[in-house]
Amino acid sequence: MYILQYSTSHAMEFHLFPKLPTELRFRIWTFSLPSPREFGPIGPKGSESHQSTTNTTTAETEGEISDSGSDIPALNINHESRTVALQHLIRVWDDNASKVIYVNYALDTFTFTSIDYLLHLVRRSGLMGGGGPFPCCRDMENMQGIKIMFTIQSLSLHLRMCLERVLQPFRVLEEIVVVVKMAFKGDMYRSNSIEKSVVKTIGDARGFAEEILERWGKGEARKDWKSPELIIEELRV
């Protein structure tokens, strides 16, 4: 896992501000915390690089996992700043359980390269009773924003499977971003020797997805659910 879309226009240099009131110092530490970030792509070894030219990564090389703690000055200045930072950030593991990172589930988005890998992590974390202990179990239950990549050919089948089976254990999701990857130009494509329309495929997928999300909040078992917002984006690769 590496961090995308994290930049700042401020020089992150702080002093101890000994003469300032405590409340004001706390506000300064809070102001120094990172703006919303995107963690990902999360996928098998050799994760594909993100295609968007607007994204930047703190990792020196593709696939290298960055230490997000070093990107958050308040964690390392003094005890007071660290205490304030940890009121907003949660210390968790990256998806390979190899390095500690700090995230804000209310702000940050987590990207998965495919439904197959997302399902693998869910099973491995024990959320669906398919695996033993894994550090991301609590993490995944607390994620509020996720992004999942699909091909246009698999969108209808895999998005339905994702919403009906895979994502229901994610108790507090507020936003689901669906990225539809296409390796061609134009509207028409072929799937199983049948010519189809990108616009119609995405429109149909949006329709059944919104119906499924509405059902999430119905019934006694789902009284604590608030239907997350669904966003569908096209990615031409």
For the whole model, what pTM was predicted? 0.72
State how far the Cα of 83 lies from the Cα of 86, in Å rounded to an integer: 5
Which of 15-19, 36-40, 126-130, 228-232 reaches the highest mean pLDDT? 228-232
Give the CA count within 13 Å in the CB-facing half-sphere of 144. 10
| Residue 194: predicted pLDDT | 92
CA distances (Å), 110 to each of 1, 146, 213, in order?
A: 9, 5, 19
**End-to-end C-alpha distance for the chain, whole angstroms:** 21
- Delimit the domains of the chain by residue range: 1-104, 114-237
97-117 pLDDT tens trace = 567 788 888 889 888 888 887
**134 pLDDT more than 80:** no
Helix (H, G, I), strand (E, B) or coil at 115: helix
The answer to whether residue 155 scores a pLDDT higher than 90 is: yes
pLDDT at 198 over 90: yes
pLDDT tens column, 4-27: 444 444 445 556 777 889 889 999
Tell me how far CA of residue 186 lies from CA of 110, 151, 191, 199, 234, in angstroms: 29, 15, 15, 10, 12
Which residues face 229 on adjacent strands?
175
Given a contact cutoff of 8 angstroms between Cβ atoms, the answer to whether 101 and 37 are in contact is: no
